[in-house]
């Protein structure tokens, strides 16, 4: 997922993130999108749990910035939903299903 797409998503929240939070959250979003597209890619526990939509466990492993993003904005749930609606994700999942059927 491109950085510009992540920033466009973050702008929908109409929230002013400080630079540290914006950078961290945008990096997390990129890692989550990558994990969703490539489930076998090794990643940290938090990113893996978010990509797998295991919200309670993800919250328990989150640091303060990520806990705020979860508590106040429901940001990561909305981001996972956003990624699932993107053409690149739909195409990748369709290709994965077709490849599995052809095996």
Structure confidence by residue, pLDDT tens digits, 27-81: 999 999 999 999 999 999 999 999 999 999 999 999 999 998 888 889 999 999 9
pLDDT for 45 = 95
CB distance 4 to 77 below 8 Å = no
Q: Provide the 3-class DSSP secondary structure of residue 1.
A: coil
- What is the rounded end-to-end Cα distance, in angstroms, of the chain? 28
Confidence of residue 17 (pLDDT cuts 50, 70, 90): confident
Q: Domains of the chain: which residue ranges?
A: 3-102
pLDDT at 94 over 90: yes
CA separation for the pair 34, 68 (Å, rounded): 22
CA separation for the pair 48, 85 (Å, rounded): 19
Confidence of residue 101 (pLDDT cuts 50, 70, 90): very high
pTM, two decimals, is 0.88
């Amino acid at each position: 997922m491109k950085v510009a797409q992540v920033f466009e998503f973050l702008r929908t929240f109409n929230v002013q993130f400080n630079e540290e939070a914006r950078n961290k959250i945008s990096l997390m979003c990129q890692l989550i999108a990558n994990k969703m597209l490539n489930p076998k890619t090794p990643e940290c526990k938090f990113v893996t749990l978010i990509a797998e939509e295991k919200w309670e466990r993800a919250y328990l492993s989150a640091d303060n910035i990520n806990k705020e993003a979860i508590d106040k904005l429901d940001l990561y749930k909305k981001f996972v939903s956003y990624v699932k609606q993107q053409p690149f994700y739909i195409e990748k999942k369709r290709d994965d299903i077709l490849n599995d059927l052809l095996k």
